[in-house]
Chains A and B, each alone.
Chain A
Amino acid sequence: MKRRVMCNEDFCIGCRLCEVHCNVKHSKSGDIILAYKYEEEREPSRMAFEEKDYVCGSIVCMNCKDPLCVKACSMGAIEIKEGTVAIDDERCVGCWMCVMVCPFGAIKRGDKKAFKCDHCHDMETPVCVLNCPNKALVYEVD
């Protein structure tokens, strides 16, 4: 099994609502207003938004077939779980090797730990895809 969120840049309208909903999903309260206005610590979004002229798009972890990040991690903190490349927080030491090798810029530096898209593993469809107003983000499982 392999999970992937693909962005069709022909229809990405650059609203960045995917980032907003990603933030909310990974907040403590799970409520948009509480997460943004009252929670003191809020993780940055797991989406990598790219924009040039009128073309834009959000990129998240592509769950590569042979992930470079898994090879690069000296701590063995990254492994593929249920079709998703997952980082084990306990083992991650924040050397940022995974951040360096990821060809999509999909792994981000958190506070001493690397983090990335978890494809909302507890949901059938990730929140970014559910909330994309123009269906530019498409979720594929194969």
Chain B
Amino acid sequence: MSKIIPEFIVKKNEDKCINCKVCVRQCSEEVYKYFEDFDLIRIYDDKCVGCHRCDLMCPTDALTITKNNSQYKENSHWDNYTIKSIKKQAETGGMILTGSGNDKPYTSYWDRILLDASQVTNPAIDPIREPMELRTYLGKKSDKLSIKEENGEIFLETELSPQLKIETPIMFSAMSYGSISLNTCESLASAASKLGTFYNTGEGGLHKKLYKYGKNTIGQVASGRFGVHTDYLNACAAIEIKIGQGAKPGIGGHLPGEKVTVEISQTRMMPPGTDAISPAPHHDIYSIEDLKQLIALIKEATDYEKPVLVKIAAVHNSAAIASGIARAGADVIVIDGFRGGTGAAPSVIRDNTGIPIEVALAVIDQRLRDESIRNDVSIVAAGGIRSSADAVKAIALGADAVYIGTAALVAMGCTLCQKCYKGKCNWGLTTQDPVLTRRLNPAIGSQNLVNLVNSWSLEIKEIIGSMGINAIEALRGNRYRLRGIGLSDVESDILGIEHAGM
């Protein structure tokens, strides 16, 4: 018998309950059980994960999920989470797993940065009446362009590096087929193609059904090399080498055998039912020189036509690593902050490892500028981008574009219950159970994503318009348009922004 106090209490309003049993049918955690002999729905609170599937599906709003008020005695050092973790570990002897991103109350620098706006001396621009440019090109930019004129026609002499053209500086971050369902992958892929942006295959390979979205796909090559073959590399528009992930820097992925269905095993090129374990490091990359070789290898395999991205988690010496990555020949550096999500990670790693994306982004951009190699790479910021304001602040801090993962899942139904690792996602996102995966209709999922990104894009235009800027290019790395609030001198210094009032 478990001695852990349940986290949630499920309340059913009997005046409203019509006994339709939608809750019984919808809850994959088996919180509800119907006893026909007694015509009674019995509720088991201890199984509730707080995903709110039942109360949102209930046709009479008869259900309320509340925090359990019965908790261990208040103690600011030994808080309830800590006591519960100890008890859970004492019962099971294992690591505590969790899903999604770091939820601990660390400072969010996005909330301590304010945006500038134009008044009197520099006119603001109305995005509805005037053209605004959000189009962004990711990749190495040439130091100079030489142009020649022949018979009155102008030709570009400089050979340009491969670029990724995105219509809005928002892309969908890496989530593998395996960690999320095929319907979820398809929603992301079809939304990316409608929006003129990119989604990322994660380390799950590319399902044959998704090859048609290749032009909007960034294919990932990670330490397990799952699903990597020539067709895969050539089908994708760009290749991303994943070194680390913000939620679990220094930890590889682990897809339990139960989730490795026949379809997934074929896509990942591994036997069905076996654990898909991605090693913590790439065993062929122990230095920047090794990384350079892999980048060269991928470029060779794809005829030097596709940009290569390198993704690292934001850690203490990210700036030096980023400089190395730029010199190793990567076209784009992706930095994933410690708020970034995951399908499964040990709680202790997710909650204690890495640094905030705001800080990492600022120091990396500064370092690359100081070394005059900022033009050689684009920077993509990822990990906890919650809104268009966060995206604008990231771009002003030096990012070329942002990746959104958690926000995309939320748009498709996720309620951040953080139980992705259980594989029983009630919203049909992070599961392979055929009963649950059908809960996401890709037509609805992709429409929701398109709506989200379109509304963020509109907001970004509105924000930059208010600053008197008509192209997102002009805001990139423009930290003068940012001001800090409640930041110490050290923090302002690292972020490279002045305090409000300065």
Contacts and interface: CB of A to CB of B under 8 A. Distances in A.
Q: What is the size category of the interface that chain B forms with chain A? A: 20 to 34
A20 B25 contact: no
B434 A17 contact: no
Contacts of B16: 33
A104 interface: no
A17 B57 contact: yes
A12 B26 CA distance: 12
Given A13-B438, A20-B20, A32 B25 contact: no
B18 A36 contact: yes
A32 B60 contact: yes
B22 interface: yes
A33 B60 contact: yes
Interface in A11-46: 11-17, 20-21, 32-33, 36-37
B441 A135 contact: yes
Contact of B435 (A11, A36, A37, A54): A54
A10 interface: yes
Contacts, number: 53
A16 B443 contact: no
B25 A15 contact: yes
Nearest to A36: B18
Given A10-B438, A135-B443, A15 B18 contact: no
Contacts of A134: 438-441, 444
A131 B20 CA distance: 15
Given A32-B59, A133-B57, A135-B444, A13 B439 contact: yes
B68 interface: no
Contacts of A15: 22, 25-26, 57
A54 B438 CA distance: 9
B60 A14 contact: no
Given A15-B25, A133-B57, A36 B441 contact: no
B19 interface: yes
Contacts of A17: 20, 22, 57, 59
Interface in B350-377: none
Contacts of A12: 438
A13 to B, nearest CB: 5
Contacts of A16: 20-22, 25
A48 interface: no
A54 B22 contact: no
A38 to B, nearest CB: 11
A140 to B, nearest CB: 16
Given A33-B16, A54-B435, A136 B22 contact: no
Contact of A11 (B20, B59, B441): B441
A14 to B, nearest CB: 6
A14 B57 CA distance: 12
A133 B428 CA distance: 13
Given A11-B438, A11-B441, A12-B438, A33 B22 contact: no
Query: What DSSP secondary structure best describes chain B's contact surface?
Result: loop
Interface residues of A, number: 20
Nearest to B428: A13
Contacts of B438: 10-13, 54, 134
Given A10-B438, A133-B57, A36 B22 contact: no
Contacts of B57: 15, 17, 133
Contacts of A36: 18-20
A32 B19 CA distance: 11
Nearest to B437: A54
Contact of A32 (B18, B21, B434, B444): B18
A37 B434 contact: no
A17 B444 CA distance: 18
Interface string A2-15: 00000000111111
B18 A136 contact: no
A128 to B, nearest CB: 12
Contacts of A14: 25, 435
Nearest to B444: A135
A68 B56 CA distance: 41
Contacts of A135: 441, 443-444
A136 B439 CA distance: 10
A135 B440 CA distance: 10
A12 B437 CA distance: 11
A32 B441 CA distance: 27
A33 B58 CA distance: 12
A54 B434 contact: yes
A130 to B, nearest CB: 12
- Scoring B15, B21, B439, B443 by chain A CB atoms within 10 A of each residue's CB, the highest score goes to B439
Interface in B4-46: 15-16, 18-22, 25-26
A15 B57 CA distance: 8
A16 B434 CA distance: 17
Contacts of B60: 32-33
B51 to A, nearest CB: 15
A135 B444 CA distance: 8
A32 B434 CA distance: 31
Given A12-B438, A135-B444, A21 B59 contact: yes
Given A15-B25, A16-B20, A20-B59, 13 more contacts: A10-B438, A12-B438, A13-B438, A16-B22, A17-B20, A17-B22, A32-B18, A36-B18, A36-B20, A54-B433, A54-B435, A134-B444, A135-B443
13 contacts: A13-B438, A13-B439, A14-B25, A20-B18, A20-B22, A32-B18, A32-B60, A33-B16, A33-B60, A36-B19, A131-B59, A134-B438, A135-B441
Interface of A: 10-17, 20-21, 32-33, 36-37, 54, 131, 133-136
